[in-house]
Amino acid sequence: MKQVSIRFGTLVALSIALLVFILTLVLTYTIGSRSTRDIENEAGASLAASAYQLADKMDYSMWARKAEVDLLANLPALQDEQEKDSARQLIDRLQETIPTFSWIGVTDERGNVVVATDGILEGASIAERPVFMNAQETSFIGDVHDAILLAKLLPNPSGEPLQFVDISIPLKVDGRFKGVIATHLSWEWAKEMERNFRSSIRSDMKDLDFLILSAREDTVLLGPDDLIGEPLNLASSETTSGWQVVTWPDGKEYLTGYAKSDGYADYEGLGWKVLVRQPTTVAFASSNQLQRYILVTGLTASVLTAVLGWLLSRLLTRPLKEMTEAAHKLREGISTEIPRHTGIYEVNILSLALRALVRSLTRTETERDALESLALHDPLTGLANRASLVRHLDQISSGKTVPYVIFYLDLDGFKQVNDRYGHHTGDLLLTEVADRLRDQIPSDCFVARLGGDEFLLLAERHDSEEELNRSGERLIQILSAPYRINGEDLTIGVSIGAAFWTPPDQPEKLIREADAALYLSKAAGKNRITFAKRQVFS
C-alpha cells in the first residue's frame, strides 16, 4: 500500500490555521465572557438604581405632603371654630395649588366634618374612618385604599375606581384635642410620578415596567393592568435592594431591579417596594451583540491568517515560533503583543493581522472598563457614587473583619447658595468641596458623593472616639472656610453623623446609624459632629 505523506508546507499552514483558531477562541472566551458579565451587571445595577430613585422620589413627595398638612394644621384659622370662612379659603387654596389633594376636611372633636374643600361631606361624620380614628393623638398616614364615602362625590373622568392615600393631623389648642385635619391624596399622584420618572430615564432603556407593591402580601398597587391588585410572590421582593433575573407569572424572564421604600426625614414610609423589570431579550441585547462581534472578528482574522500561512509556510517557521510563544503568554493572562516581523512582507502582514485582532479585543475590554468607571463615579465631582459605595461595602463584608468608621456629611447652607447664585455656582461649590476632601483625607479612606450635598467617608478605625471627634471638627473647619467662586466669597457649614461598623454586620445598618447621627447634628444647631449609639437600632 502506498504511503501518503503530507508536505511540510501544508503541515505548517494547517498548524498555523489551527493555532490562530485556538488563539481566537481563547481570546474570545476570556474577553467576551468577562465583558458580557460586566455588561449584564451594569444593566442590573442600572435597573436597581432606577427602582431606588423612584422609591426615594415617592418617599420625598409623601414627606412633603405631610409637612404641608402639618403646617396647615398649625395655622390659627384652622384652630379657631369661629374662622370657618378663613379655614375654607386656606384648604381650597392648598387644593388648587396641589391638585394631588383630592379632598381636605376639618372635623370637630367628635369626627363631624366642619369645613371641607368644595363643601363635600360638610356636616357628615367620619368618626368611624381610619383617617379620624388614628389621628387623635399623633399624625397618621394610611396606605392605598379604595374610596368609600367620596366614591360618588368626587369627579372621576377616567371611570377607574378611585384610590387614596390618607394623611391626617390632630388639631390641638393648649394641648386639648379639637379635631382633625384629614386629607385624601389621589393615587393618580403615584401614576403621574411614574410617568414623569419614565420620561426622564435614558432613551436606550426600552420596554421597562415599573411596579409598586404594598407591604401587605406584596399586592401590586401600580404596574401592568393584569397584575394590579394581585399578590406578587417573587424572591426579589424579599430583599431591600438589588437585581435578579426572575421568571414572572407570565412565564417570561425579566431582569428585575428592586428597592424598598424606607421613608424620608421624619416620615417612616409605608413599606412600599418598587420593582423595575425589563425583558432579558432587551436588557442583554448589547451583551449578545458583543459576543457575536467578538466571535465574527476573531474567526475572520483566523481565516485571513490561515490563508497567509498557506502561501508563506516555508518562510514562517521562525516567526511562527515567536508568535506561538506570545499566544501562550496571552492565554496565561500575561500582557504582551504579537511580535511584528518586517523582514518578509507576507510575514509582516500576518503579524499585523494578529496584533490588530488582539488590539481589537483589548479595546473592547478597555471600553467596557470605561463604561464601568462612568457607572461607579459621580460625573460632577469625580468621586465614587452610591453604586460604587454598595460595591465597596460588599467587598469589605466578604473580606476584612477589622472595625470601620463612617462620616456622613451634609452641607449646611448649600440650598441658600443655589437659590441666590444659581445651580451652576452650586455645582462649582460641590466640586470645590470634593477637592478639599481629596486633599485632606488619607489615601486609604473611601470617599463618595451620595447625591445633592451629601458626602460619605469610610475608613478603617485606628483612633479613639475622642481623636475621631477632633478629626471631624478639623474637617468641619476646613470645609467651612470661605470658597472663592466667580468673584464671590461663599461660606457654608458642615454637619456630620458618625458611626462604627465591624463586618460582617449589615452595612445598611451602618449608613442608617450615621444618617440618624447626622440628623441629631442638624437638630443640635448644625456645624458639628455626632456619634451614633448602636443600641438605637438593636
SS3 readout for 114-131: EEEHHHCCCCCECCCCHH
pLDDT tens-place string over residues 306-327: 666 666 665 555 666 666 676 6
Q: Above 80 in pLDDT, residue 134?
A: yes
pLDDT band at 447 (very low <50, low <70, confident <90, very high): very high
Q: Above 70 in pLDDT, residue 470?
A: yes
At residue 202, the pLDDT reads 64
Burial class (CB in 10 A: 0-12, 13-18, 19+), 155: exposed
Mean predicted confidence (pLDDT) in 519-536: 83
Q: Above 50 in pLDDT, residue 165?
A: yes
3-state helix, strand, coil in the chain (%, to 5): 50, 20, 30
Q: Could you tell me which of 66, 231, 224, 199 has the C-alpha nearest to residue 135?
A: 66
At residue 118, the pLDDT reads 85
Cα 90 from Cα 479, distance rounded (Å) = 42
Q: Residue 103: what are its φ and ψ, rounded to 5°?
A: -150, 135
Mean predicted confidence (pLDDT) in 442-466: 89
Torsion-angle region of residue 145: left (phi > 0), alpha (psi -120 to 50) or beta? beta
pTM: 0.48
3-class secondary-structure state, position 87: helix
Mean predicted confidence (pLDDT) in 154-164: 62
Cα 484 from Cα 491, distance rounded (Å) = 9
At residue 369, the pLDDT reads 47
At residue 245, the pLDDT reads 85
3-class secondary-structure state, position 491: coil
Mean predicted confidence (pLDDT) in 515-527: 91
Burial class (CB in 10 A: 0-12, 13-18, 19+), 165: buried
Share of the chain above pLDDT 90, in %: 16
Least confident segment among 190-204, 222-236, 272-286, 366-380 = 366-380
3-class secondary-structure state, position 262: coil
At residue 405, the pLDDT reads 92
pLDDT tens-place string over residues 454-465: 999 998 888 888
Share of the chain above pLDDT 70, in %: 74
pLDDT band at 536 (very low <50, low <70, confident <90, very high): very low
- Mean pLDDT of the chain, nearest integer: 79
Q: Above 90 in pLDDT, residue 270?
A: no
pLDDT band at 356 (very low <50, low <70, confident <90, very high): low
At residue 103, the pLDDT reads 85
Q: Which is more confidently placed, 275 or 338?
A: 275
The DSSP 8-state label assigned to residue 340 in this structure reads: P
At residue 535, the pLDDT reads 39
Cα 386 from Cα 424, distance rounded (Å) = 22
In angstroms, the Cα distances linking 44 to 207, 254, 372, 375, 424 are 14, 10, 13, 12, 32
Q: Which three cell numbers stand for residue 160?
A: 377607574
pLDDT band at 146 (very low <50, low <70, confident <90, very high): confident
Mean predicted confidence (pLDDT) in 464-471: 90
In angstroms, the Cα distances linking 314 to 9, 16, 307 are 6, 12, 13
Mean predicted confidence (pLDDT) in 359-373: 55
At residue 463, the pLDDT reads 84
Among 27-41, 208-222, 427-441, top mean pLDDT goes to: 427-441
Q: Which three cell numbers stand for residue 327?
A: 499566544
Q: Could you tell me which of 503, 533, 269, 247 has the C-alpha nearest to residue 395?
A: 503
In angstroms, the Cα distances linking 169 to 95, 162, 280, 286, 411 are 16, 22, 46, 51, 31
Q: Above 60 in pLDDT, residue 167?
A: yes
Mean predicted confidence (pLDDT) in 360-375: 56
At residue 519, the pLDDT reads 93
At residue 537, the pLDDT reads 32
Q: Above 90 in pLDDT, residue 131?
A: no
pLDDT tens-place string over residues 44-66: 888 888 888 888 888 888 888 88
Segment 230-236 long-range contacts (CB within 8 Å, at least 24 positions apart): 234/275, 236/275
Q: How many residues does the chain have?
A: 538
Q: Which three cell numbers stand for residue 226?
A: 393584569
Least confident segment among 102-106, 292-296, 483-487, 507-511 = 292-296
Question: Where do the domains of the chain lie, and which CATH numbers do they carry?
Answer: 74-189 (3.30.450.20), 386-537 (3.30.70.270)
At residue 116, the pLDDT reads 87
At residue 368, the pLDDT reads 57
pLDDT tens-place string over residues 91-112: 888 888 888 888 888 988 898 9
Q: Which three cell numbers stand for residue 102?
A: 383630592
Q: Residue 510: what are its φ and ψ, rounded to 5°?
A: -60, -45
